[in-house]
Amino acid sequence: EPEVTQTPSHQVTQMGQEVILRCVPISNHLYFYWYRQILGQKVEFLVSFYNNEISEKSEIFDDQFSVERPDGSNFTLKIRSTKLEDSAMYFCASSDRAGANYGYTFGSGTRLTVV
Amino acid sequence: GESVGLHLPTLSVQEGDNSIINCAYSNSASDYFIWYKQESGKGPQFIIDIRSNMDKRQGQRVTVLLNKTVKHLSLQIAATQPGDSAVYFCAENRNGDNFNKFYFGSGTKLNVKP
């Protein structure tokens, strides 16, 4: 079964440092997403991406965050200057179509720890 | 308001029993719902979905019930197995959201005792 692959599985970084979280979506998917889950809390939407641009973003996704699809296979989330409160699991997801009534496939996540 | 916290509600059941996990949603514009299962160290995994024009949908060993009047969703798992132990989230998609932005509930931890 096709999978969404995320690397690394765990990243520790110092506050103020830049981090890049990497995702390889399912190959024929066209819609890409990042969600995050702070420990013990809900999974929260960050951003959706289609046709090489952001489709929608949440209030969490401020100017410290950016996404990029640098080539035909990778989809990255960059946090420019990490804060302690950025510590969370970050999940990438992809789907082959948009609109309501379609779920998508999540990756296993990257645990980001900011110290 | 949203409920946040470090402690998930936990449902403990005996292997072989049926499990019922509940979820309340607040937005009447929500028209599509998914139940996700999240095992430790993994991402959410799709279990079953339901559209707002239905009140019941069945899958293999799972049934989702939707009560739009009281904005309540439930997941029933028949003959619960140890492999069902996980955190279960309901997620809603709101009418008018052009892309698949889902709002997740707080989650319920299911603990299956052998």
Element (H, E) at A35: strand A31-37
Cβ-defined contact of B100 to A99 (cutoff 8 Å): yes
Q: What is the pLDDT of residue A101?
A: 52
Q: For the domain that residue A9 is a member of, what is the CATH number?
A: 2.60.40.10
pLDDT band at B99 (very low <50, low <70, confident <90, very high): low
Domain count, chain A: 1
Q: B45 to chain A, minimum CA–CA distance in Å?
A: 7
The nearest alpha carbon in chain B to A4 belongs to B43
Domain that holds residue A108: 5-114
The residue of chain A with its CA nearest to that of B51 is A101
Residue range B39-59: average pLDDT?
Answer: 92
CATH class of B10-113: mainly beta
Residues 6 or more apart in contact with residue A71 via CB below 8 angstroms: none
Listed by start position, the domains of chain B span 10-113
What is the pLDDT, as a whole number, of residue B2? Answer: 37
Reported as a single tens digit per residue, the pLDDT across B14-32 is 999 999 999 999 888 888 8
**A35 pLDDT exceeds 70?**
yes
Nearest C-alpha neighbor of A104 from the set A30, A7, A21? A30
- Residue B53 makes CB contacts below 8 A (sequence gap 6+) with none
CB contact under 8 A, A42 and B43: no
Instruction: Answer yes or no: is pLDDT of B69 > 90.
Output: yes
Looking at chain A from residue 45 to 84, which residues have their Cβ under 8 Å from any Cβ of chain B?
A: 45, 48, 50, 55-56
pLDDT of B3 strictly over 70: no
- Are residues A108 and B41, on separate chains, in Cβ contact within 8 Å? yes
Close Cβ partners of A83 (under 8 Å, ≥ 6 residues apart): A15, A64, A114
